[in-house]
Amino acid sequence: MDKNAALCVYLKKYHTGKEKAVPSTELEQLFSVNGRNLRRKINRLRQDGVPICSDRSGYYFAANQEEVNATVFRLTGLVTKISNARTGLLYSSLLGELPIPIEVTIQIDDGGERDAEQVSGDYRDGSRTSADFDSGYEPLYGLLDHCGE
């Protein structure tokens, strides 16, 4: 019997239900694998439709649909966090090296004498004013502030 099948049989026999969860460190020792390989084995079993659940206390074979739903909900949260990190990295690659020069076009309605006024500049020193930007660009400054700029 391979380790994946043995892991499945072991969890089903001795650790069915949330109350019987087993810590990953115990499984690592029992099956002579490191944490990464254990997670890969659990992932493979889940992909094959085996209802292995997990929470802070460890891994367990699902006893009911509610336990499966709780694990799916937790995994969905992890997927969302990873997706948000991915989006942030892609966004940073669009911005290039921070801080960046910003060019903004502001529409001014002053009776038709001018249609638009171009405002541009290098705002690396943080010397921006409300005349330079409209409030739509404040999230960018929040990002820069978050990065210690």
Cβ–Cβ < 8 Å for 58, 18: no
Cβ–Cβ < 8 Å for 70, 63: no
Burial status of residue 140 (CB atoms within 10 A of its CB: 0-12, 13-18, 19 or more) = middle
pLDDT digits (tens, 9 = 90+) for 58-112: 999 999 999 999 999 999 999 999 999 988 888 877 776 655 555 666 666 655 5
pTM over 0.85: no
Cα 7 → chain centroid:
28
**H-helix or E-strand spanning residue 55:** strand 52-55
pLDDT of residue 16: 98
